[in-house]
């Protein structure tokens, strides 16, 4: 469906232009969202920054997400799943603090000494290379909203229909190039989906400054 993340960024930018979507700032979710976000930010002629979150894994099953936390401590919890699993507040509180610190360090690693962009009163486009469950995406969108953005738009190349529909309740608008009915993982819709290195991620973020 997409050759690589750069191709996905071009096609996402095409869709944004066709839909008349504009923005003041693009925030990419690292690491995979940065190459996509770089293309989109360049096309729109706006600055690129990062917003990060971490999944909260279930006890004994870290791959099962029971929520997510953004780098500023903004939390989204799957309350029904937590109830079904009988997960207590102490576990959640400890997981939130642990993963928040990881997300914060990730942002610091990519942004360096540069201050974060001021989002107050702005239209902010949150970009990733795709969504699956949408847990970390939700935490990121909520952080952007809490920082005073006037309008929050999620833009991704691919995601399952049910996740995209749910995320419409978190953002003012959602732009998704493809919503395949049979969805296993984001990577299955890319010919090349190699892991983005820290160096590549930083290069994507810094490219416009050169």
CATH number at residue 81: 3.30.1310.20
Q: How many distinct structural domains can be found in the chain?
A: 2
- For the chain, the average pLDDT equals 94
pLDDT at 11 over 60: yes
**Contacts of residue 143, Cβ cutoff 8 Å, sequence gap at least 6:** 51, 53, 70, 71, 72, 74
Residues 29 and 132 in one domain: yes
Token pair of 145, please?
């909203």
Token code pair at residue 10: 């071009």
User: pLDDT by residue (tens digit) across 18-68?
Assistant: 999 999 999 999 999 999 999 999 999 999 999 999 999 999 999 899 999
Check whether the bond before 31 is cis (ω within 30° of 0).
yes
Residues 42 and 74 grouped into a single domain: no
Length of the chain: 210
**What are the strands, taking DSSP E only, across the chain?**
25-28, 48-50, 53-58, 61-70, 75-77, 123-127, 151-158, 173-178
Same domain, 129 and 71: no
90 with 59, same domain? yes
Q: Which DSSP category does 190 fall into?
A: B
**Same domain as 43, residue 123:** yes
Judge if 132 and 199 occupy the same domain: yes
Q: Show the domain range for 97.
A: 54-110
Return the residue matching tokens 């979710």. Answer: 29
């Amino acid at each position: 469906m997409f050759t690589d993340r750069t191709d996905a960024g071009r096609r996402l930018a095409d869709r944004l232009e066709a839909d008349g979507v504009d923005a003041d700032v693009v925030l990419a979710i690292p690491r995979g969202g940065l190459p996509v976000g770089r293309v989109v930010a360049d096309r729109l002629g706006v600055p690129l920054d990062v917003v990060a979150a971490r999944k909260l894994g279930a006890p004994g099953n870290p791959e099962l997400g029971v929520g997510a936390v953004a780098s500023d401590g903004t939390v989204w919890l799957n309350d029904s799943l937590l109830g079904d699993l009988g997960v207590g507040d102490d576990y959640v509180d400890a997981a939130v603090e642990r993963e928040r610190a990881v997300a914060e360090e990730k942002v610091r690693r990519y942004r360096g000494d540069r201050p974060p962009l001021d989002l107050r009163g702005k239209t902010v486009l949150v970009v990733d290379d795709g969504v699956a469950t949408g847990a970390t995406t939700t935490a990121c969108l909520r952080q952007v909203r809490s920082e005073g953005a006037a309008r929050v738009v999620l833009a991704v190349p691919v995601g399952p229909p049910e996740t995209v529909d749910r995320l419409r309740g978190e953002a003012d608008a959602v732009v998704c190039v493809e919503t395949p009915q049979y969805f296993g993982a984001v990577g299955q819709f890319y010919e090349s989906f190699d892991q983005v290195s820290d160096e590549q991620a930083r290069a994507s973020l810094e490219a416009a400054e050169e």
